[in-house]
Structure 1
Amino acid sequence: MNIDDARHLQALIRTIPDFPSPGIQFRDVMPLLADAHGFARALEALAEDIAPHSIDMVAAIEARGFLLGGAIAQRLGCGLLPVRKPGKLPGPNHGIDYALEYGSDRLEMQVGSVKPGARVLVIDDLIATGGTALACGELIARAGGHVAGFRFLIDLPDLGGAARLAARGWDARSLLRY
């Protein structure tokens, strides 16, 4: 992605102070998604270094990851794996609890949704401390899948999430850094 595209995308993201709790600087990607050119360019940039059909699934993390994951999966010619908060998926589910920068949470995916050895790319809007992304990667690994990498619109490098993924041996790339 060239510098002009990066500046355009960054201009479309607004910062909301003290959301969802005091001290958090929330990076709101909704204006970027509402901009047809910005949204299209972000999708292109997220997928530009990945060969079509080189992965088997895109894992999209609830909820903003869903907005990106389906489009990326379609571009790459692969399936979509929704990774959700508890109680949202029918049937038996794999689950994992994890820590956030402002609390704790849980992710789940349906049993049997990842075939053993499947190459899975994880998509989300933002990486902060990396707790959510690490939990998603662990779910995929426990199900027998291979984490092919992570893609984010935004990285907050001061919070160390991408470094935590790298320490686990997983590639993480982001379009923008704050």
Structure 2
Amino acid sequence: MAVDLTKYISSYKDFPKKGILFRDISPLIENPDAFREATNRLAAFAKKEHANLIAAPEARGFIVGSPVAYKLGIGFVPARKKGKLPTATVSASYGLEYGKSTLYMEKKAIKPGDRVVILDDLLATGGTYSATAKLVKQLKGNVVGAGFIIELSALKGRNKIGDVDTMSLIKY
């Protein structure tokens, strides 16, 4: 029987700033049944896309992407914040629902033709996804899927994904 993942999402008004309704996956990842269910669903999606790598942005994307990569027996590529990677990198800047940032990926992380599914905890405006996809494409990888635990539909982040197969476990 499938677990109702919506029961494991907390909502906080005016966090991290006034006007934002923060959707928190902490209760989901704290519950072994809910976390396993979310991981299994995202892994089935990535397997269907024939991914040979999972890429995910810092920080909660790591929590979502790493267990999926492990379950599928494929590699995991982190998209990190500035100063966190020791070797040569590529970078991509993006806007968030409440600010701006830049992500970095090691140049050696993705090889031409790699089939990459990008996973994250939340799709809001699509900025974080877009930056991660730019990094994959700079390294000549193919983004073949995008998966999220939560999608905030009103913010239209899916519009930035384009024709890539996309999965959201929960939509608000």
**What TM-score does the superposition give when structure 2 sets the normalisation length?**
0.95
Q: Which residue of 2 aligns with 1:39?
A: 35
Superposed displacement of residue 104, structure 1? 0.6
Q: Which residue of 2 aligns with 1:21?
A: 17
**What amino acid is aligned across from residue 112 of structure 2 in structure 1?**
P
Superposed displacement of residue 164, structure 1? 1.9
Q: Which residue of 1 aligns with 2:71?
A: 75
Note closer, same or farther for the CA distance 1:171–1:53 as it changes in structure 2 (3 Å cut): closer
**What amino acid is aligned across from residue 77 of structure 1 in structure 2?**
G
Alpha carbons 2:46, 2:145 under 8 Å: kept: no
Q: Which residue of 2 aligns with 1:175?
A: 169
Superposed displacement of residue 13, structure 1? 0.5
Partners of 1:48 and 1:171 in 2: how far apart?
13
Superposed displacement of residue 54, structure 1? 2.2
Note closer, same or farther for the CA distance 1:174–1:53 as it changes in structure 2 (3 Å cut): closer
SS at match of 2:45: coil
Note closer, same or farther for the CA distance 1:148–1:54 as it changes in structure 2 (3 Å cut): same
- Per-residue CA shift, 1:116-154, capped at 9, x if unaligned? 110011010000000010110011001100001110000
**What amino acid is aligned across from residue 51 of structure 1 in structure 2?**
K
**Which residue of the other structure, out of 8, 11, 15, is the alignment partner of 2:7?**
11
Alpha carbons 1:52, 1:76 under 8 Å: kept: no
SS at match of 2:47: coil
Superposed displacement of residue 35, structure 1? 0.3
Partners of 1:51 and 1:28 in 2: how far apart?
26
| TM alignment of 1:48-127, pairs within 5 A | 48-51=44-47, 54-127=50-123
Partners of 2:94 and 2:48 in 1: how far apart?
32
Superposed displacement of residue 9, structure 1? 1.0
- Per-residue CA shift, 1:89-119, capped at 9, x if unaligned? 1111111111112111000001111001100
Gaps of 5+ in 1: none
| TM alignment of 1:113-152, pairs within 5 A | 113-152=109-148
SS at match of 2:17: coil
SS at match of 1:49: helix
User: Identical aligned pairs, as a percentage?
Assistant: 40
Corresponding pairs, count? 172
Alpha carbons 2:43, 2:68 under 8 Å: kept: yes
**What amino acid is aligned across from residue 171 of structure 1 in structure 2?**
D
Partners of 2:140 and 2:55 in 1: how far apart?
14
Alpha carbons 2:45, 2:167 under 8 Å: kept: no
**What TM-score does the superposition give when structure 1 sets the normalisation length?**
0.92
